[in-house]
Structure 1
Amino acid sequence: MGSLTVTLVFLYAVSAVLCTPFINQLQPGQEWPARSSVKQPYHQFDGTENEHKPEVAEPKTAASEVEKEVISDEPQAPLVETVERIDYSGAQVWKVSTEDVQVQRLIKKLATDKLIASWGGNHSSIDILIKPNALENVTAMFRNGDITYDIMIDDLQQRINEENPPLDENELELQDRRGHRMTWKQYHRLEDIHGFMDYLAKTYPSIISVNTIGKSYEGRELKILRISDGKAGNKAVFIDGGIHAREWISPAVVTYFINQFAENFDVESDDIKNIDWYFLPVVNPDGYEYTHRSDRLWRKNRKYGYGPSTCTGADLNRNFGYRWGGKGSSSYPCSDIYRGSGPFSEPETKAISEFFRNTAVKFSAYLTYHSYGQYLLYPWGYDNALPADHKDLDSVGKQMAEAIRKTGGSQYKVGSSSGLLYPAAGGSDDWAKSLGIKYTYTVELSDTGRYGFVLPASYIEPVARENLAGLRVLASQV
């Protein structure tokens, strides 16, 4: 029991929750890895989708300067923007058992020395990202300590390069015929996601509407899509994605749900039709765009100017108002789990809070989709405690997990956030539960570490399809 306690305390100290990095003393990218100029596809934004500048100008750095578009009357080649992208060449991701105290001590030392960062894990193991310039030394330390590990990713940049290949000609032609650019064979930029939502609202006006509940720090819209047949007795379910910028599979899965319900509503079961569905696919649009343009592994939002070191961003999933500032969150502005200056200090979380406060809708369920690890988590996350109806949450969660397994074969573990993983205060799921919403879950999507945050686009449809089966189970219960 003593060994288990040490393990849990250690894991809490270095990794507050699945997919949470160690608390670094520098902004991600400042100390490693090197930045390199890479040509990236340019996406023309219109109106509110423009690349807005924050009111407080961020100092120009190699990471944030973008070559301005050159406009002339002469025909031009397709436009590209030149951005400085963080290069993760040579970085590796290892899975390491943390059941041995010796291993815990070594990992803690390496994290303190900023030689590694944490990607995720659970009570028995942790996934660590090893910097390329530290790889030789870390390998030697593990060898000298006779510590075993599994290399999950041997070159992170190569995985990033292979993650989101361009569409083939058939898919591009299908895009044109369909009237929107969204597919589930590729990870899409925010413009495509919002354009898809607007297209559905125009195509199916009797059941679909789109509203903006606020704007991000850099001025991007926070768009919610509702699917409803308007029946007075309908229940209501809220689903969000993309709270953490680098978790691309999350918005992809949420938009898949939207497409399935929108395109097939007439033939859907009564379980689906008798619910008013509210979808917010990208809670963190600034961070999401930043991962496409500059740092693929950026996690937080892009609010600038925190702390004396003028660090950028807060972890939106530590910024919600219930038990804000508690375990598993950081008061250090440069940390990737920085909780913000106060509850709902970020425009993105504040917009969600105000939406719930002002709406007359009584929600029966709240699901927030993340990655990775394959978990179905229910409250509480702020501490190792359980809500009074935890047996109901556990039962429905296990039914959802079984539907996922039967559909696609993926094994999802079910339990409370703090009990199955680690305490993490200020999460959206705890906050939603505190509002009286019964069925509240955080779904950590695939995979379990082979690809981690850089899950190839070929996995989108299988992951979405099996999770849709889980969602249907929830719909039958609310």
Structure 2
Amino acid sequence: MFRITLLFILSLVALSLANQDDYTGYKVYKIVPKNEDELKTIQTLIKHPQVDVWTSSKLIGHPTVFMVPPTLENQLKSLLRVNNMPYDTLIEDVQRTIINEKNEQAEARRIFDDRSGRISFKQYERFDTISGYLRNLTNLHPNLVKLVNIGKSYEGRDLEVLKISSGGNGNKPAIFVDGGIHAREWISPATVLYIINRLVENYSQNSALTDNIDWYILPVINPDGYEYTHTKFRLWRKTRSPNGLSCVGTDANRNFDFHWKEIGASSDPCDETFAGLKAFSEKETAALSNFALSIKKNVKLYLTFHSYGQYILYPWGWTSALPNDVDELDALGRKANAVSGYKYTVGSSTNVLYAAAGGSDDWFKGVAGVNLSYTIELPGGGSAGFDLPPSRIEEVVQDTYKMVKVFASYIDKKFVNNK
């Protein structure tokens, strides 16, 4: 039987990583559970308000990676020692890792900076550059793309969806793609931008994916948080709207109005998984949902990109029960995984990863009626997982695009060629 020490329980104080800007002395650990008891110990451990979970799983043999402050180091090691659980220290000092990543990004920008309005995929782009790129595409390819403003973020940044369509009077099946809902997951917007790049700038080679299908693509749902990770706090996860007396931000992927805050979400405004003061409290999630509902009759597939962990997840996140069409969801996920050079785990969110209500994938399926709805947790890299080096961006986005083509071909076959 697993044991949780009294010392560890007493340390559950109302502190948070949410406003942390200096991670000196913070460490990152990895634990790979060997049995059910160790899984239970880990599930208790990661509920601590000062434990920042970077990737986790409910499966034996799959790693959980988390960051802890110096004040918890002794308690954590005591807990693991009592339960005879081995662990690896992945990062001895998180602040040093952040500084190293900043230097790598600066060097990549120095070498590959392009003022022509293009994207190089040799560096992580800032939000203004991303917006400029989308506008540039509308000028260069006016018959193929259209930029749709669906609202503004809390800090006033434009939320813009790029519609890619080669015609069809709006009657074609559509795919909705988004990224950047969690601010620190930089490889997510980069991946979504690569999908745009292939479909638009390489149209002649990828026309089979756009002739019969319309695409709606939002590269960065959470631009305020994304910019904050570039300018202030690298590991920021949430939005930037005020939500209490002292804390800022809501976990946008707990804010959707489908079984909102039922499980796997926090009521504490300082918590990383704070669900918001109400469902759709965030301008970003409200704008996304309103736009999605306006086009829902055509959308047949939803793909949202996160990092990291290498999972292809389908609903539900609010319950361990499986959707009625689980066989189709699972088979398509595994078919996409088969073309990837990485090994992804395929399954329902709750049963493979953890329960988390209020996510966008559940909402798209449960409310917008998009039956084929997936969250793709991309590969991590570097020493922190979130700090995939700029030199590996192309490797990951190119591999992911192989999977996207499988998803798109399935939609073409099911909703066009089978008619």
What's the TM-score bracket when you normalise by the shorter of the two chains? 0.7 to 0.9
* SS in structure 2 at match of 1:388: coil
Measured against aligned partners, the alpha-carbon deviations of 1:198-226 in whole angstroms (never above 9, x if no partner) come to 11111111101112100011111111111
C-alpha contact 1:243 1:282 (8 A) present in aligned 2 = yes
| Rounded Cα–Cα distance in structure 2 between residues aligned with 1:24 and 1:245 | 26
1:229 aligns with 2:169: no
Distance in 2 between residues matched to 1:440 and 1:247, nearest whole Å: 20
Secondary structure of 1:356's match?
helix
Residue type of the alignment partner of 1:192: T
Per-residue CA distance 1:119-156 (angstroms, 9 max, x = gap): 22112342121223544564465456543111222332
Structure-1 residue corresponding to 2:319:
383
Read off the aligned partner of 1:386 and give its amino acid letter. L
Instruction: Say whether the 8 Å CA contact 1:241–1:251 is kept in structure 2.
Output: yes
My pick for the range that moved more, 443-452 or 222-231, is 443-452
SS at match of 2:123: coil
CA distance change for structure 1 residues 269 and 296 in 2, over 3 Å: closer, same or farther? same
Aligned mate of 2:54, from 113, 119, 135: 119
Could you tell me whether the CA contact under 8 Å between 2:108 and 2:390 is conserved in 1? Answer: no
Deviations 1:323-362 (A, max 9, x none): 1121111122211111112221111111011112333751
Stretches of structure 1 lacking an aligned partner (at least 5 in a row): 11-22, 33-85
**Does residue 180 in structure 1 map to residue 113 in structure 2?**
no
Q: Against the structure 1 CA distance between its residues 106 and 402, is the aligned structure 2 distance closer, same or farther, given a 3 Å change threshold? A: closer
Correspondence for 2:96: 158
Q: Summarize the Cα distance change of 1:207–1:133 in structure 2 as closer, same or farther, 3 Å threshold.
A: same
**Alignment pair present for 1:282 and 2:220:** yes
CA deviation after TM superposition for structure 1 residue 27, in Å: 4.1
What residue is the counterpart of 1:364 in the other structure? Answer: 300
**Structure 2, unaligned runs of 5 or more:** 5-11, 412-419
Structure 1 match to 2:271: 335
Q: Contact 1:24/1:336 (CA < 8 Å) preserved in 2?
A: no
| C-alpha deviation, 1:311, in angstroms | 2.0
Establish whether residue 476 from structure 1 lines up as the match of residue 417 from structure 2. Answer: no
| Distance of 2:143 and 2:48 partners within structure 1 | 56
Whether 2:131 is the aligned partner of 1:194: answer yes
Distance across 1 between alignment mates of 2:348 and 2:336: 15
TM-score, length-scaled by structure 2: 0.87
CA contact (8 A) 1:127 1:449 kept: no
Shift of 1:380: 0.9
* Structure 2 Cα separation of the partners of residues 246 and 197 of structure 1: 21
Query: Per the alignment, in what secondary structure is the counterpart of residue 108 of structure 2?
Result: coil
Give the paired residue count: 395
- Residue pair 1:317, 1:428 contacting (<8 A) in 2 also: yes
Q: Sort the Cα spacing of 1:113 and 1:283 in 2 relative to 1 into closer, same or farther, 3 A.
A: closer
**Closer/same/farther in 2, CA of residues 323 and 399 from structure 1, 3 Å limit:** same
The 3-state SS of whatever aligns with 2:146 is strand
Is the 1:28–1:298 contact (alpha carbons within 8 Å) kept by the matching residues of 2?
A: no
* Distance in 2, Cα, partners of 1:463 & 1:24: 39
Whether 1:460 aligns to 2:393 is yes
TM-score normalised by structure 1 residue count: 0.77
Is contact 2:18–2:270 with CA below 8 Å preserved after alignment? no
1:204 paired to 2:145: no
Question: What is the CA–CA distance in structure 2 between the aligned matches of 1:333 and 1:209, rounded to whole Å?
Answer: 37
What is aligned with 2:236? 298
Q: Distance in 2 between matches of 1:246 and 1:283?
A: 12
Q: What do the CA deviations read for 1:59-114 (whole angstroms, capped 9, x no partner)?
A: xxxxxxxxxxxxxxxxxxxxxxxxxxx22233221111344647855884696484
